[in-house]
């Protein structure tokens, strides 16, 4: 392969009308595959036909065995990702910009790998409001690796003309990720319930993705919301034309304002199905599945409540009392989560249980074990006196602020 172009070089030099042929040849060379030359010529000849019909073996020549991920599970070349969420409440633009930052720097995003590339961002916002979001995302000092196109600068260009120019700039400049935020406003869709308008808006973006780009589009949720794939405002035609759908929403109940539930419907099993994420100073962090995060919150409430009870009179607490504490906690912890946390803590030996189920005179009562105290503080206690001292250190560490009533 000395002196021969790499797959990416061959692709960028190809004419868009013959991208399938260029991509096939480039990938065969890059992957050092050995194929029958006559078979390759047959594939190329078929690509030049007016109507292209492929055999599975021919498709194997034209495609990679796995998606070419820019952000694993979320953004892939030749694929469109849609992110849905409530207007100004879900944080779609913040999510998109932090994802862009991860791709620009090739750092982990939600614990998953990314690949370094350049980005074109098309936005409906004004210069000032979008720059505010750029500052918050830590992107203010970026150069040519991030270019922004504003709706107010479209002039008289139609949406297909805009996307054609975006595609030209992306190919010429090596920009592999294009963000469209938000699709309805930018494509000038008048009747959002008209499937024909959505189809006309999406076709240019599908052609853009076919030019070996990853496309991320943002879309507002309808007022009534809905399940992932159905929540997007207007016709479902747009969601039907994409490959990955992400829905960003606030968690149910009185949860911290920096948490979001990210749910997906995807053609790829690599996309996380439903996770809870948390916005921190350095970006979004993945906390885990929604149920697991709820149980984790409940586990902390139970441990602190039983720790305070043990420090006071060692009498323990019933499940009902713990459920009441969870209901008055900020954020609120559900009965189900308390029950799951108790089951896990009893099984692990961190909580002991006494009494009888369904007994009014001797109900099931839960008490913090010595194991829980020593595990929490990282020191082994050998006597009840040491346990009491360690409990005080646990309370001091937490400030006693995680439970109603202030410090213990």
Residue 172 belongs to some domain of the structure:
yes
The reply to whether 204 and 339 lie within a common domain is no
Domain limit, last residue, from 288, 318, 336: 288
E strand spans, 344-395: 351-354, 365-368
Q: In this model, does residue 289 exceed pLDDT 80? A: no
Top pLDDT among 71 and 34 is at 71
The reply to whether 178 and 240 lie within a common domain is yes
Mean pLDDT rounded to a whole number for the chain = 79
Most confident of 65-74, 234-243, 245-254: 65-74
Q: Parallel, antiparallel, or unpaired: how do β-strands 365-368 and 351-354 relate?
A: antiparallel
Q: Residue 52, exposed/middle/buried by CB under 10 A (0-12, 13-18, 19+)?
A: exposed
Report the number of distinct structural domains present in the chain: 3
Q: What is the DSSP letter of 76?
A: E
Calpha distance 389→372 (Å, rounded): 13
pLDDT at 383: 45
Contact predicate 193/234, CB 8 Å: yes
Q: What is the CATH number of the domain that holds 324?
A: 1.10.10.10
Residue 408 belongs to some domain of the structure:
no
Q: How many residues does the chain have?
A: 408
Domain limit, last residue, from 223, 255, 288: 288
pLDDT at 109: 94
The reply to whether 187 and 98 lie within a common domain is yes
Q: What is the CATH number of the domain that holds 159?
A: 3.40.50.300
Give, for 81, the enclosing helix (H) or strand (E).
strand 79-85
Q: In this model, does residue 194 exceed pLDDT 80? A: yes
Confidence of residue 193 (pLDDT cuts 50, 70, 90): confident
pLDDT at 356: 82
DSSP bridge partners of 265: 245
pLDDT at 316: 84
Residue 1 belongs to some domain of the structure:
no
E strand spans, 124-266: 146-150, 175-181, 214-220, 244-249, 259-266
Contact predicate 351/345, CB 8 Å: yes
The reply to whether 248 and 344 lie within a common domain is no
The reply to whether 284 and 372 lie within a common domain is no
Residue 91 belongs to some domain of the structure:
yes
What would the pLDDT profile of 332-389 be if each residue is shown by its tens digit?
A: 787 878 888 888 888 888 888 888 877 788 888 888 876 555 454 443 444 444 444 5
What would the pLDDT profile of 79-102 be if each residue is shown by its tens digit?
A: 999 999 888 888 999 999 999 999
Q: Can you tell me whether residue 104 is helix, strand or coil? A: helix
Top pLDDT among 125 and 328 is at 125
The reply to whether 55 and 77 lie within a common domain is no
Residue 406 belongs to some domain of the structure:
no
pLDDT at 39: 61
pLDDT at 21: 47
Range of the domain at 54: 7-62
**pLDDT > 70 fraction of the chain, expressed in percent and rounded:** 73
What would the pLDDT profile of 213-239 be if each residue is shown by its tens digit?
A: 999 999 988 776 677 767 776 677 767
The reply to whether 92 and 197 lie within a common domain is yes
Residue 82 belongs to some domain of the structure:
yes
Q: In this model, does residue 128 exceed pLDDT 50? A: yes
The mean pLDDT of 296-304, rounded to a whole number, is: 81
The reply to whether 194 and 216 lie within a common domain is yes
Q: What is the DSSP letter of 403?
A: S
What would the pLDDT profile of 39-56 be if each residue is shown by its tens digit?
A: 656 665 665 555 677 788
pLDDT at 28: 46
The reply to whether 313 and 361 lie within a common domain is yes
The reply to whether 144 and 248 lie within a common domain is yes
Contact predicate 111/286, CB 8 Å: yes
Contact predicate 265/228, CB 8 Å: yes
pLDDT at 148: 98
**pLDDT > 90 fraction of the chain, expressed in percent and rounded:** 38
The lowest-confidence range among 70-74, 86-90, 142-146 is 86-90
The reply to whether 145 and 277 lie within a common domain is yes
Q: How far is CA 366 from the centre of its chain?
A: 38
The reply to whether 160 and 263 lie within a common domain is yes
Residue 250 belongs to some domain of the structure:
yes
Q: In this model, does residue 408 exceed pLDDT 70? A: no
Report the predicted TM-score, pTM, of the whole model to 2 decimal places.
0.67
Domain limit, last residue, from 288, 311, 335: 288
Residue 303 belongs to some domain of the structure:
yes
Would you state the structure tokens that stand for residue 85, as one six-digit string?
Answer: 């969420």
């Amino acid at each position: 392969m000395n002196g021969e172009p790499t797959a990416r070089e061959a692709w960028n030099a190809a004419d868009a009308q013959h991208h399938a042929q260029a991509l096939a040849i480039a990938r065969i060379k890059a992957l050092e595959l050995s194929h029958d030359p006559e078979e390759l010529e047959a594939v190329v000849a078929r690509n030049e036909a007016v109507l292209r019909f492929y055999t599975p073996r021919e498709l194997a020549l034209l495609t990679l065995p796995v998606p070419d991920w820019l952000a694993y599970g979320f953004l892939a070349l030749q694929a469109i990702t849609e992110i849905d969420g409530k207007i100004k409440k879900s944080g779609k633009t913040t999510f998109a910009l932090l994802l862009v930052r991860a791709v620009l720097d090739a750092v982990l995003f939600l614990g998953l790998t990314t690949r370094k590339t350049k980005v074109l961002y098309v936005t409906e916002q004004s210069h000032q409001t979008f720059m505010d979001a750029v500052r918050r995302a830590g992107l203010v000092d970026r150069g040519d690796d991030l270019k922004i196109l504003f709706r107010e600068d479209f002039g008289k260009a139609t949406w297909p003309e805009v996307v054609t120019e975006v595609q030209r700039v992306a190919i010429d400049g090596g920009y592999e990720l294009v963000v469209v935020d938000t699709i309805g406003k930018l494509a000038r869709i008048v009747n959002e319930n008209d499937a024909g308008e959505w189809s006309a808006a999406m076709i240019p973006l599908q052609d853009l993705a076919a030019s070996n780009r990853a496309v991320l589009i943002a879309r507002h949720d309808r007022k009534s919301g809905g399940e992932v794939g159905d929540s997007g405002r207007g016709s479902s035609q747009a969601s039907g034309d994409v490959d990955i759908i992400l829905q960003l929403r606030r968690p149910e109940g009185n949860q911290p304002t920096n948490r979001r539930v990210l749910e997906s419907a995807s053609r790829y099993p690599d996309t996380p199905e439903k996770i809870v994420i948390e916005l921190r100073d350095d970006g979004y962090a993945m906390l885990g599945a929604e149920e697991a995060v709820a149980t984790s919150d409940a586990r902390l409430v139970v441990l602190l409540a039983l720790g305070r009870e043990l420090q006071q009179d060692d009498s323990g607490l019933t499940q009902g009392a713990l459920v009441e504490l969870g209901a008055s906690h900020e954020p609120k912890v559900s009965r189900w989560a308390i029950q799951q946390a108790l089951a896990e803590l009893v099984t692990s030996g961190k909580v002991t249980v006494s009494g009888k189920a369904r007994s009014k005179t001797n109900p099931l009562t839960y008490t913090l074990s010595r194991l829980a105290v020593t595990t929490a503080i990282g020191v082994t206690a050998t006597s009840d006196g040491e346990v009491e001292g360690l409990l005080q250190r646990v309370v001091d560490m937490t400030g006693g602020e995680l439970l109603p009533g202030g410090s213990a």
